[in-house]
Structure 1
Amino acid sequence: MNAPRIALIGAGSTVFAKNLLGDILSFPELAGADIRLFDINQPRLDVTEQVAHRVASAVGARPTVTATTDRHRALDGADFVINMIQVGGYEPATVTDFEVPRQYGLQQTIADTLGIGGIMRGIRTVPVLADMSRDMERLCPDTLHMNYVNPMAMNVWGLARLSPRIRTVGLCHSVQHTASELADDLGIPVEEIDYLCAGINHMAFYLKFEHQGQDLYPRLMELARTGQVPPANRVRYEMLRRLGYFVTESSEHFSEYVPYFIKNGRDDLIEKFNVPLDEYPRRCVSQIGGWEDLRVKLQDPTEPLEVKRSVEYGSLIIHSIVTGQPRVVYGNVMNSPATGSGKLISNLPDECSVEVPCLVDRQGIQPTRIGHIPAQLAGLMQTNINVQALTVEALVTGNREHIYHAAMLDPHTSAELDLDQIWSLVDDLLERHGDFIPQALQAAD
């Protein structure tokens, strides 16, 4: 492959784009890459373009950098597409996803993966990704689409139904981040840990967690038993006690995927497990409030620009495909690959998105067949898969009823609201989101 052509979609996410560009351009084999930056927000795009040149200078790379608000231009002939968009942004979409459920007494923490907020984000995001994917079918049919956008499982699943010709892998950082957290809890360098992880995005579990051949789970269980755990991880250590395995996603995320930790009127649970209600809006407000100062620093050539390798998989995948250097990453793919090689996780449904280790080399993404996972883990995952399946079905069929069904089966929503409340909540959210909702799913006049 000549200089790889890499399109960053949603490049106005400047900090994340900076990290990815630093990772990519630090590889000598990728230092001359053709980088296409696309966003619909011209001012943010302008900042990222300047940052891209600063990153290149910092690592001694000489890429071609093009910034454009023309999506077709960014995608044309791209070998790799990295997607990091947010449909509807913090305002109005995220604000709506928190404000309306709160009126029903339904509290959330992050609301981007599951729950009523995750359902709504999926409803407005999958169609946009599918539209982009149809552009890819025409402009770069052999590309590898790397999706960083949540709700990950719904997005990967929806694209598999709506645009199966494009190879898509969903990328997250919860597996590697959590491994580092657990290594810190145990006082062991993370590079010395051997682990095997599998499940669905944000609800994968470490099936193996070892140091020099020694099982580390007894030590983790002892931490859970004695309560000597970081306050931010109380939810996950409690689930370790109950399930026997540690989950990858953070406690603030996980607490809203199950019905056990957030209950209206149960402040004792919120305090006991340190559940940060409304955490995502707080983060957004903080980031928005600090953007102007950050922008000035990023654009100021006299300000030092730190460029260091992140834990994101995107650059590693590109480098392995370009050079043939084999690596293992964790990717989100369909449980029954198009190759017909059988299910990756045998006791999860054929048609769902799973997160498993994947070999990457010149042949691309090659998922690992895990086989059977512990029954209690598969059962818990199925409660989330039900919601994902019905949300995707609503999008594929245009049947609005399935949105109500998804909310009805959501573990947190169904534990808090009765059926009439759920139907009314869905109606209110769809109305408030307006044109962000596909026409077929909007209420009839």
Structure 2
Amino acid sequence: MSVRRTTRAAGTGPRITFIGAGSTVFAKNLLGDILSCPALSHSRICLYDIDPQRLRVSETVARRIAATLRATGTIETTTDLSRALDGADFAINMIQVGGYKPCTVTDFEVPNRYGLRQTIADTLGIGGIMRGLRTIPVLLDMARAMERLCPDVLHLNYVNPMAMNCWALNRATRIRTIGLCHSVQGTAAELAADIDVPVEEIDYQVAGINHMAFYLRFRRKGTGEDLYPLIRKVGQDGRMPPHNRVRYDVLRRLGYFVTESSEHFAEYVPWYIKNGRGELIERFSIPLDEYPRRCELQIRDWQNLERELQDPDRPLAVVRSHEYGADIINAVRTGEPAVIYGNVMNEGGLIENLPAECCVEVPVLVDGNGLQPVRIGRLPPQLAALMQTNINVQGLAVEAALTGRREHVYHAALLDPHTAAELDPDQIHALVDDLLRAHGDWIPAALRDTTGA
């Protein structure tokens, strides 16, 4: 066990554990958000990661943030998960099982040999399925540790594939888990810029599933003016940014704007990425193999970023981000209400025309009583039908992860919209075999067993 502790003052604030704190930039943003809240400035922060070098960088950044904000309380770092979770009130999860290398590289390279191209591969598609299969067991082990060490913890999950992970956690453990993403508020800001209306003047309602939720309402505050006509005009005039062409095309065909980016959405449907159809890729500006490129850039920039973040002579700007984590913790601790968008189980029919057992993304009221998801009712039928194509894959991947039945991995891949549009059943079966074999010990042994498959 490796533990280092820095005490600033005898704090009585909440104990907040960062799991995967070596994601320094993301941890920096959340730490700044949390410690800038007066009611949370004396929080007891514990940073946990399996990589000691990255953990040291995050510790340095955390100390600088605390000093900049004159926050009191404690900052602790550890490479021991039990120590990190012991007594935690809130756990913020930001891990990536298998990392860029070897696992993300495998998720792209093996399908590429079959002519199956992807853009991000972290949510759905064959890459999202594999990411879920290697991530869910790790999250379940963490949740079981929480059940022993901090059973009342509120688990804030930022780990993809979001819907699969939250579905499995809520089905198989007693830990309260909410999945958090920034696509809702991020896209709202993009749309505001597209129609030249300040985002602070916009009121919206969103519902669906993670990365496939839609703006059901997009209005001007105060007057109630429907702003959708302005959004549609941007699409009709072709004034949208090139990277948003897929989403504006979906708006034209389905009548509503989707929350997640075009590069993500393009691989959730069978329409935009097709082998031998280069004109589609060009017309919709689809960045194939985008995630590996981003990872390579981040790796190249890491050493410079590490030096900048640790340089005591370089000013460290602490700016409030648009993540929901701090808002949730502050609302629970103070009772001051906040409305966020979160991924929760569809209990009680939050969305009536989606399955009761799936994970949905809806508005959530948070206050001293905890999380209170908002009931939406029925979605427009075309939106619910589209979401169901993704929910089918999510549910089968979760079933495979929880039961260890390899046949459900094949089922998930066979029903995946993009994979099925490109490959025949024999190819899909062979691709699953190749991926499970290539991932090796990153995948549970039961799913690698070909007996009876």
Tell me if TM exceeds 0.5: yes
Q: Which residue of 1 is the match for residue 7 of structure 2? A: none
CA–CA distance in structure 2, aligned partners of residues 53 and 366 of structure 1: 34
1:418-433 to structure 2, matched below 5 A, reads 418-433=424-439
Superimposed CA distance per residue, residues 45-100 of structure 1 (whole angstroms, 9 cap, x where no aligned partner): 00000100001111111230000000000000000000000000000000000000
Q: Which residue of 1 is the match for residue 6 of structure 2? A: none
Superimposed CA distance per residue, residues 119-150 of structure 1 (whole angstroms, 9 cap, x where no aligned partner): 00000001100000000000000000000000
Between the two proteins, what is the percent identity of the paired residues? 68
- Preserved contact between residue 359 and residue 365 of structure 1 (Cα < 8 Å): yes
| Residue 3, structure 1, aligned to residue 9, structure 2 | no
Superimposed CA distance per residue, residues 360-379 of structure 1 (whole angstroms, 9 cap, x where no aligned partner): 00011100000101000000
Matching residue's letter, 1:14 = T
Matching residue's letter, 1:178 = T
Q: Which residue of 1 is the match for residue 202 of structure 2? A: 193
CA–CA distance in structure 2, aligned partners of residues 353 and 41 of structure 1: 31
| Residue 232, structure 1, aligned to residue 232, structure 2 | no
- Preserved contact between residue 157 and residue 334 of structure 1 (Cα < 8 Å): yes
| Residue 183, structure 1, aligned to residue 192, structure 2 | yes
Q: Which residue of 1 is the match for residue 228 of structure 2? A: 217
SS in 2 for 1:20: helix
- Preserved contact between residue 173 and residue 312 of structure 1 (Cα < 8 Å): yes
1:77-116 to structure 2, matched below 5 A, reads 77-116=87-126
CA–CA distance in structure 2, aligned partners of residues 435 and 88 of structure 1: 10
- TM-score when scaled to structure 2? 0.96
Matching residue's letter, 2:417 = P
SS in 1 for 2:165: helix
Q: Which residue of 2 is the match for residue 278 of structure 1? A: 289
Greater mean deviation of Cα atoms: 64-73 or 1-10: 1-10
- Preserved contact between residue 12 and residue 73 of structure 2 (Cα < 8 Å): no
Q: Which residue of 2 is the match for residue 411 of structure 1? A: 417
| Residue 396, structure 1, aligned to residue 402, structure 2 | yes
- TM-score when scaled to structure 1? 0.98
Superimposed CA distance per residue, residues 373-412 of structure 1 (whole angstroms, 9 cap, x where no aligned partner): 1000000000000000000011111110000000000000
| Residue 375, structure 1, aligned to residue 381, structure 2 | yes
CA–CA distance in structure 2, aligned partners of residues 3 and 297 of structure 1: 30
Superimposed CA distance per residue, residues 195-243 of structure 1 (whole angstroms, 9 cap, x where no aligned partner): 0000000000000000131111111112112211110100000000000
1:25-424 to structure 2, matched below 5 A, reads 25-163=35-173, 165-211=174-220, 212-336=223-347, 342-424=348-430
Cα distance, 1:442 vs structure 2: 1.1
Please list every run of 5 or more consecutive structure 1 residues that lacks an aligned counterpart in the other structure.
Answer: 337-341
Cα distance, 1:2 vs structure 2: 3.9
CA–CA distance in structure 1, aligned partners of residues 218 and 311 of structure 2: 44
Count of residue pairs brought into register by the alignment = 439
Please list every run of 5 or more consecutive structure 2 residues that lacks an aligned counterpart in the other structure.
Answer: 1-10
CA–CA distance in structure 1, aligned partners of residues 30 and 187 of structure 2: 20
CA–CA distance in structure 2, aligned partners of residues 2 and 92 of structure 1: 42
- Preserved contact between residue 161 and residue 396 of structure 1 (Cα < 8 Å): no
Cα distance, 1:161 vs structure 2: 1.8
RMSD value over aligned CA atoms?
A: 0.9
Cα distance, 1:307 vs structure 2: 0.8
Matching residue's letter, 1:399 = R
Matching residue's letter, 1:268 = E
CA–CA distance in structure 2, aligned partners of residues 282 and 162 of structure 1: 35
SS in 2 for 1:204: strand
Matching residue's letter, 1:333 = V
Cα distance, 1:444 vs structure 2: 4.0
- Preserved contact between residue 8 and residue 81 of structure 1 (Cα < 8 Å): yes
- Preserved contact between residue 261 and residue 270 of structure 1 (Cα < 8 Å): yes
Cα distance, 1:255 vs structure 2: 0.3
Runs of 4 or more off by more than 2 Å in structure 1?
none
